[in-house]
Amino acid sequence: MVGTLFTALVTALSLLIVDIVVPGVNLANFPSALIAGLVIGLINASVKPVLSTLSLPLNFLTLGAFSLIINGLCFWLAAVLVPGFAVRGIIAFILGPVILSFSSTLLNKYFAEKNLALTSGDINTRNELPSR
Q: Where are the domains of the chain?
A: 10-120
Taking the C-alpha atoms of residue 75 and residue 16, their distance in angstroms, rounded to an integer, is 14
Half-sphere exposure of 104 (CA within 13 A, CB side): 17
List the chain pLDDT tens, one digit each, 132 residues. Answer: 777 788 889 999 999 999 999 999 999 999 999 999 999 999 999 999 999 999 999 999 999 999 999 999 999 999 999 999 999 999 999 999 999 999 999 998 988 887 766 666 655 555 555 555
pLDDT of residue 122: 54
Report the predicted TM-score, pTM, of the whole model to 2 decimal places.
Answer: 0.81
